[in-house]
Chain A
Amino acid sequence: MTSAAAQLAPGAAPPLRKFARIAGFAGLGAIAVLAGASGVIARAPAGAAGIGPALRPPSFDFLFGTDLLGRDVASEILHALTVTAADAAIAATVVLAAGSLFGFLAARLPWRIGDLGLWLMGVLNAAPALLLAILFVGLSSREYAPLAAGLAAAPAAFLRAFAKARELSRSRHAEYARASGIGAMALLKRDLAYEIRDDGISTAARALAAVAITLSTLSFFGFGAVPPARDLGLMIGAARATYFDAWWTAAFPALALILFVFCARLAAGLDEGERP
């Protein structure tokens, strides 16, 4: 009763996952437009104090209320979203290059060099990404927080890519190709091309979601964005003192962060990266 024709093509996503991806990309696109046009859309420039009375609750005048310095929370969220999205994009690029791509290449390195890389990344992956990011920020400076967040998330991406590349290089079809004289470089190019086509977007979106949380947490603890630039994590962190009296100062930035991460996860097709 088996039928090869009945198998789904690799990379073919079930309808629900396809829908999630489309919804996720639509959300990310909307966030990118909002972030890009924040200078125009926002009522006040970034960090402008005294726009309204301090700690004014949400109202028609101030949709998301104002903070302790009388800044319009809605405008601040738009500006912070721009910083968060830009930093997350840089960090995600680092994850893809230093994690996924390096892992994919390392799996094919000769003389057990790849195994050494695997061991090293396994050790790094055992540490929480946030602590690693704090360590990297400590070794460099807060300006390099996106790089630090990217490097901290790289071990997990490396391990996933390494496992996938090993599986591919040990597959029957790779063995068959090698036996008929297809070189290692041609095989690598082929696997990389198909991996980018089938999984590139998911991997990038997954990395974006992971680093956005790390970056925001770094900023929350004061290791991330450097004022006057404020990202969503820094906004939430700054609202700690007023949270129980003025919930909107922290709740709306947190909702914006949740929305950003949620859209990124949807764009990844809610894929955890592990394959059956």
Chain B
Amino acid sequence: MSEADAAVLSIADLTIIRAGAPLPELERFSLQLNPGQTAIVLGETGCGKEALFRALCGASRPDERISGAIRFGSLGPALPQDRQGSGLRVAYLPCVDQGVLSPSADVLSQFVRILARRLGLPRASAREELRLALGRIEGAPPVAALRGRPGSLDPGVLAWGFLAVTLAQSPDLVLADHALSQLSPMQARNIAGAIIAAQKQLGFALLYAARGTLATTWLGGRVLVMRAGKIVEEGPAERLASSHAHAYTQMLYKSATVQSPVQKHTIRGEPILQVRGLRFAAKKSERNTADGITLDLRRGASLAIVGEPGSGRRELMRAMLGLDKPAAGRTIFDSVDIGILSRSMVSRLRRRVAFITGDDDVLDPRMTVRDTVEEPLRAHLNLSREHVAGYREAALKRVGLNSIPGERTVAMLSSFDRRRLQIARAIVSVPRLAVIEEPQRGLGPLEQSVMIDLLKDFRAQEGPAFLILTANFALARALADDAMVLKDRHVVERGSLAELVRAPQDAYTRRLIEAVVPRPEEGLSQAVLQG
């Protein structure tokens, strides 16, 4: 049997042209995947991988014209819709926020329904299959953890669920569509490890669409770097990350690597945020509170609270800023004890706080770009539209959104544009404190790099103190001076960030660091990752 006959997926000269588009979405794309092999299609949004995956899933848009051949298994050239006839089991592993699940229904019952349909089983049997699949994956949560609506579950738990549904189908080919994005580095690393282990056991071929280069580190295999519908180059990840790669590939890898540490800012005097013995619960009903947390954040300083989702970092921030009532302790923000203030006074005090998050829903989708940036000025200072126009335009220019029509609504913007819009909104409000939570989540490497540069510029020019909530030590290292590692609402370790990265004392801290800076034996060398 020839190598071509053994292939589970053969794509030859696949070209996808969208009606009215000046350039093809995908141009003469060829790929062959044999059982057990991994191929990662790496590129930014719009590079062609989306069109490729749509074609592979048989979900191309009506205005897309496809030429070339896609062959599943050993059958002759076939359309994607015909792949059922090939006897090949193809499973789709989506990104957790892709909207695959209904937001209003229980996740477990949805997974069971998907599995029952895919395997042609009664639901009770499908549920048992799912339970067994979860049990076989090391590190996966029990099936009961999938109870709840998608919005109420941790993205990591959802990702484990999706993986279990995929593996329960005993696939020959897995099409993974940004399956590791939206996860914290440690979650991504654990799930990537589980995929590799399952691949060794089941022997499936894996085609992974990636925006970030970290997936190439964890999954290995062959990487196809794409840009504007064409393959720029392909090869093993280690070679592509080296200086011998194409300039575009180097740029992708360098922008995603551990950022150069933040330049030490001068601590400018008095503290902006003083937290004393703060205790908080994960839920209002819960009596189990964290240790009393004490910290100081001075004007212009930057502190990263590093921990996985569920570590209590968000609850800590909410308690600190008076968004939730703490169980004990006090917070002094800008020389005012917020515990003694009324709700309206706390709200007024929070005008000095800006939020920049990796959540695309934090901006009102109905608002225009112009209104979104102007709102803090107009609501806080009652300024007229004419008075704020100059500030608005300057802020939009700084984040590179000045070319977007001001009347465009937020709903029409991309994730990257929405994040930059959040920064523009923060710039005009000239805050004393900026709370930054995973602003790079779900973005491509170049976009992440731009976000970090914009945040650095924001800090340098407006001088707010940064409170960074993240699970990503690379982000913390790029933006923060100090760090506090949080696990299960307890402070595991704290100190200067450079010192923590250099010599972590706690195993959890070490795991968090290694999730973004792998050990040499795990794949790419640290030197390569650090560019």
Contacts and interface: CB of A to CB of B under 8 A. Distances in A.
A7 B411 contact: yes
Contact of B353 (A3, A4, A175, A180): A180
B418 A4 contact: yes
A15 interface: no
A183 to B, nearest CB: 6
A173 B359 CA distance: 10
B95 interface: yes
A181 B347 contact: yes
B418 A179 contact: no
A178 interface: yes
Given A4-B414, A179-B321, A10 B409 contact: yes
Interface in A166-189: 171-183, 186
B244 interface: no
B379 A4 contact: no
A5 interface: yes
A171 B376 contact: no
A7 B321 CA distance: 33
A179 B355 contact: yes
A178 B351 CA distance: 9
A93 B409 CA distance: 30
A5 B323 CA distance: 32
B413 A171 contact: no
A181 B353 contact: yes
B360 A4 contact: yes
Contact of B350 (A3, A9, A181, A190): A181
A190 B379 CA distance: 10
A186 B364 contact: no
Contacts, number: 92
A5 B415 CA distance: 8
A8 B98 contact: no
A194 B366 contact: yes
A194 B177 CA distance: 35
B412 A3 contact: no
Interface residues on A, range: 20 to 34
Nearest to B54: A1
Given A2-B97, A5-B412, A9-B409, A176 B366 contact: no
A143 interface: no
B375 A182 contact: yes
Contacts of B352: 181
Interface residues of B, number: 44
A2 B98 contact: yes
Contacts of A171: 361, 364
Contacts of B98: 1-2
B490 to A, nearest CB: 25
Given A1-B98, A178-B347, A179-B353, A190 B364 contact: yes
Contacts of A3: 45, 50, 414
Nearest to B422: A176
A98 B347 CA distance: 31
A1 B353 contact: no
Nearest to A185: B379
Nearest to A11: B366
A2 B95 contact: yes
A181 B364 contact: no
B380 interface: yes
A185 to B, nearest CB: 9
A179 B350 contact: yes
Given A1-B98, A180-B354, A9 B412 contact: yes
Contacts of A177: 364, 375
Nearest to B442: A2
A179 B375 contact: no
Contacts of A2: 95, 97-99
B323 A179 contact: yes
Given A1-B53, A172-B362, A176-B362, A183 B411 contact: no
Most chain B C-beta atoms within 10 Å of own C-beta, residue among A172, A180, A182: A180
B363 interface: yes
Interface string A192-219: 0010001000000000000000000000
B38 interface: no
Interface in B371-430: 375-376, 379-380, 409, 411-415, 418, 429
A4 B413 contact: yes
Contacts of B351: 180-181
Nearest to A10: B366
Contacts of A174: 364
Interface of B: 45, 50, 53-54, 59, 95, 97-99, 177, 321, 323, 344, 347-355, 357, 359-367, 375-376, 379-380, 409, 411-415, 418, 429
11 contacts: A4-B414, A4-B415, A7-B411, A7-B412, A9-B411, A11-B366, A173-B362, A181-B347, A181-B349, A183-B347, A194-B364
Given A5-B413, A9-B412, A181-B347, 14 more contacts: A1-B177, A3-B45, A4-B414, A7-B411, A8-B411, A9-B366, A9-B411, A176-B362, A177-B364, A179-B321, A179-B355, A181-B348, A181-B349, A181-B376
